[in-house]
Amino acid sequence: MSFVELEGVHKSFGRNEVLRGIDLTVEEHEVVCLIGASGSGKSTLLRCVNLLEPVDAGRIVVGGTELTAPGVDVNRVRREIGIVFQSYNLFPHMSVLRNVTLGPRKALGLSRAEAEQRADELLARFGLSDKRDAYPDSLSGGQQQRVAIVRALALRPKLMLLDEITSALDPELVAEVLNVVRELAAGGMTMLIATHEMGFARDSANRVCFLDAGRILEQGPPERIFSSPTEPRTQQFLARIVEAGRL
């Protein structure tokens, strides 16, 4: 059994069917990148895995627990799955330290000292120790996104979901965030990543899935998807990416 299993996941917003039957598995320590045009369903898929959006049909199993079963404790599930958003979503009224310790203290019930020790270790690991007492407003986009990653990691999740985490960043800040993700991958973190950074997907993913209109049209190792995609839609999409100079 794979660590993450999705079977026939459907999701509609009103009459707009965003996910039209997603089947996907992610093995432990695997890094899977979701690529595809805006509106193809990448973000919705990630939000469904974290139960931020309830699914209309289908099954989602993470680490042997079926999240879509009735009566599942969603708060317990979410503690084991970290998610990082495109727009950082840091809490503007809290310092970096409080942003990072909020989850461990309130959701895991850690003492303040334990939570702060855990936060300090993570902040040091990602070069953010000097920003410990700063407020999100005073940080660059790249620093904010790294804090958001640290905030998710502070719960020691078994799975990380990254939702286009570099799309809102100035180009020169993208690298510092992607390096953090590469480090996580090297450390064996299981990750499901929606991204427009094709270069990153090519060099860091174990597998790349191409989403089109709410379905996974094609998936495989990055070398194959990027060099010899079989589906015409994938070829079209990648051709446009190359044209835009982003691959």
* Interacting residues with other proteins (CB under 8 A): 50, 52, 75-76, 78-79, 81-83, 85, 87, 89-93, 102-103, 106-108, 137, 151-152, 155
| Smallest distance, other proteins to C-beta of residue 240, A | 29
Choice between 62 and 155, CB closer to other proteins? 155
Torsion of the alpha carbons at 112, 113, 116 and 121, rounded to the nearest 10: -150
Choice between 143 and 234, CB closer to other proteins? 143
| Smallest distance, other proteins to C-beta of residue 242, A | 33
| Smallest distance, other proteins to C-beta of residue 236, A | 32
Is 144:66 a contact under the CB 8 Å cutoff?
no
For residue 72, give the 3-state DSSP assignment: coil
| Smallest distance, other proteins to C-beta of residue 76, A | 7
- Cα–Cα distance for residue pair 90/145, rounded to 1 Å: 8
Choice between 107 and 247, CB closer to other proteins? 107
| Smallest distance, other proteins to C-beta of residue 50, A | 6
| Smallest distance, other proteins to C-beta of residue 105, A | 9
Is 117:132 a contact under the CB 8 Å cutoff?
no
Q: How many residues are given for the chain?
A: 247
Nearest to 49 by CA among 60, 37, 65: 60
In our burial notation (b when 16+ CB lie closer than 10 A, e otherwise), range 145-160 reads: bbbbbbbbbbbebbbb
Choice between 75 and 227, CB closer to other proteins? 75
Is 128:147 a contact under the CB 8 Å cutoff?
yes
Torsion of the alpha carbons at 67, 207, 33 and 48, rounded to the nearest 10: -20
- Cα–Cα distance for residue pair 146/238, rounded to 1 Å: 29
Choice between 92 and 127, CB closer to other proteins? 92
Choice between 78 and 131, CB closer to other proteins? 78
**Residue owning tokens 């026939």:** 8
For residue 106, give the 3-state DSSP assignment: helix
| Smallest distance, other proteins to C-beta of residue 212, A | 26
Choice between 92 and 199, CB closer to other proteins? 92
